[in-house]
Amino acid sequence: MAAGTIRYWAAAKSAAGVAEERYEAESLAQALTAARERHPGELVRVLERCSFLVDGDPVGTRGHETVRLAEGGTVEVLPPFAGG
């Protein structure tokens, strides 16, 4: 099991109540399931609309269960941004 950091931005940060926290997971799906369990409520709804970067690479449309997490890695949780 890999350990790393999840960083929450904007509405995700507000919903989680923290800017970042540790993960222990093999895949992005596992890390997000644990985050939902730690922060039930608004974060669960926000995560449905978020984009994710894993170690700087966009996840895009890949299944979260197929995205492997590295030891010491970083997951960025990016809600949709207004404007442009």
Rounded to whole angstroms, the Cα distance separating 67 from 80 reads 21
- Digit-by-digit pLDDT tens for the chain (84 residues) are 999 999 999 999 999 999 999 999 999 999 999 999 999 999 999 999 999 999 999 999 999 999 999 999 999 999 987 655
User: Checking phi first, is residue 71 left (phi over 0); if not, alpha (psi -120 to 50) or beta?
Assistant: beta
User: Checking phi first, is residue 73 left (phi over 0); if not, alpha (psi -120 to 50) or beta?
Assistant: beta
Single out the residue of 21, 32, 40 nearest to residue 63, CA to CA.
Answer: 32
Per the CB < 8 A criterion, the answer to whether 32 and 59 are in contact is no
